Amino acid sequence: MKIALAQLNYHVGNFESNTAKIIQNIQKARKNGADLVVFAELCVCGYPARDFLEFSEFISQCAAAAQKIAAVCTDIACIIGLPIPNNKTEGKDLNNSAYFIENGKVKAIVNKALLPNYDIFDEYRYFEPSTEFNCIEFKGHRIALTICEDLWNTIENPLYITRPMDTLIKQQPDVMINIAASPFAYNHDEERIAILKDNAARYNLPLFYVNHVGAQTELIFDGGSLVFDNGGNLIDELPYFEECLTYYTLDDKGAVSFDHRSTIKKERESDIAQIHQALILGIQDYFYKSGFTRAILGLSGGIDSAVVCALAAEALGAENVMAVLLPSKFSSDHSLKDAEDLVSNLGCMSETIAIKNITEAFETALSPQFTDLPFNIAEENIQSRSRAVLLMAMCNKFGFILLNTSNKSEAAVGYGTLYGDMCGGISVIGDVYKTQVFELARHINREREIIPENSIIKPPSAELRPGQKDSDSLPEYDILDKILAEYIEYRCSAAEIVKMGYDEQTVHRAIRLINLAEHKRYQTPPILRVSPKAFGMGRRMPIVGKYLQ
């Protein structure tokens, strides 16, 4: 049996595009002699569809798309994922399902059993878990077909009380196929390989795994589909962050072979290299799938905006990126020079709009209210909000999308101005700690200097008052970021973090700042997710909670 794995980039709710892409790959696989072509979880509608799933018309369009796909699926079989109505009165209205289509008809339906309800996942909100498991007969083979999480319950501390494969293995399958929608995090590829390797070895079966690739707003899917032999040995690993269609032959003894060269990498990509690729794809898909082509950002000469500008130029083309220099009376000459050098290195568009007169006009208008009160955060924020007003005006006039340049460290402790530097259409590095931003800059400069060296080595500063440095208000980033990661990613308490050797006062201060800034994060753009725990849909905290403040 010749099996094709289709690792594709889908678009949530774009039935015309998704259906055409699936059909195109069915036809291509048929032409290349495949007996079965396998697509990803919920490929028909895209993942995650979220509350689109509550619209009956949306489910009807999924069904209509599946029928179009079935109509062309002759002389070949395919596996597709889609939501379908639950035919039982009890339980949720939908199932997260896979269709096995052969000779123009749906031969078998498999429903997902283990529904993740943690971090960014909320499948139990929509779907009813399956309790029935049956293998599929095809071309003399018995296929154990499962959907994503159904194979993830093999860890020492299982989340679920059942394992679908424990039931399916009793039916003596000779191959496992798993279709998935597994989002990217910089540490997730190794975890994914370990889980699937364990399944292949545990059940002594070859395993074919197909993942999504592409970004859906803040979620990025990295592909990296996998093939294992029945001993749990990884024999193929599809490319990351790109579409592909690959072919394998499964013989009568369960051995897997393929014609193409294996794409298994001798060395894993570094975390920063993966983050770089993910952010490029995240930017590209956010713009393409939203129907926009051009980006704008405020370029300060600092490392954050420099990194975002370089990423945007790589993702969209420098000709589609507008960098706006917005100097105030506190902006240093070297910051302006650094920003200008970056623009020259990238070849992107640029404009310079001084904000000194604008901020002074605000201060004059407020002078009766502010009277003789000293300069403080109010005047600092007027500068940041003046910049946002100008950038948004250019968005409205010329059709740009504003890129937010706040990093995860700043977002965590609230070191930013609401309706100022925290605004934008998409937050590019909002899940990248400041120390990682420095690493990212070095990675971007790995072949030539793109980001000026001075932007990397100078002390970080918002330049909203004379001589200001980030370290005036925050602990040094190499300490702060470690504390933030322990609290945000690993959910350690203050006491636990202090036991690790961190200063008690610094720990309590950092955690208090994180919790006090929750109201700010509720009002910021979607953040491209690259870590195991990002701000946004996967981290849900009360704004007015007292705990740990």
Known catalytic residues are: 41, 112, 148
The 3-class SS string of 422-478 reads CCCCEECCCCCCHHHHHHHHHHHCCCCCCCCHHHHHCCCCCCCCCCCCHHHCCCCHH
User: Which residues contact residue 29 at a Cβ distance below 8 angstroms, ignoring those fewer than 6 apart?
Assistant: 4, 6, 37, 76, 245, 247
3 state SS of 234: strand
Q: Alpha helix locations (H) across 215-355?
A: 271-290, 303-316, 333-346
The 3-class SS string of 107-165 reads EEEEECCCCCCCCCCCHHHCECCCCCCCCEEECCEEEEEEEHHHHCCCCCCCCCCCCHH
Kindly list the distances between the CA atom of residue 316 and the CA atoms of 288, 289, 366, 405, in Å, as whole numbers in the listed order: 9, 13, 41, 16
Question: Residue 176 in contact with residue 164, Cβ under 8 Å?
Answer: no
Question: Residue 97 in contact with residue 81, Cβ under 8 Å?
Answer: yes
Question: Residue 221 in contact with residue 182, Cβ under 8 Å?
Answer: yes
Strands 295-298, 401-404: pairing kind? parallel
In this structure, what token pair is assigned to residue 93? 């209205």
Burial of 331 (0-12, 13-18, 19+ CB in 10 A): buried
Residue whose C-alpha is closest to residue 120's, from 529, 543, 547: 529
Alpha-carbon span 204 to 209, nearest angstrom = 15
Alpha-carbon span 413 to 322, nearest angstrom = 29
Q: How many CB atoms lie within 10 A of CB 190?
A: 10
Q: 209 has which bridge partners?
A: 178, 226
Kindly list the distances between the CA atom of residue 265 and the CA atoms of 226, 270, 411, 504, in Å, as whole numbers in the listed order: 12, 12, 35, 43
In this structure, what token pair is assigned to residue 467? 């001589």
Return the residue matching tokens 């979620």.
219
Alpha-carbon span 242 to 219, nearest angstrom = 15
- State the Cα angle at 311 between 309 and 317, rounded to 5°: 85
In this structure, what token pair is assigned to residue 519? 């109201």
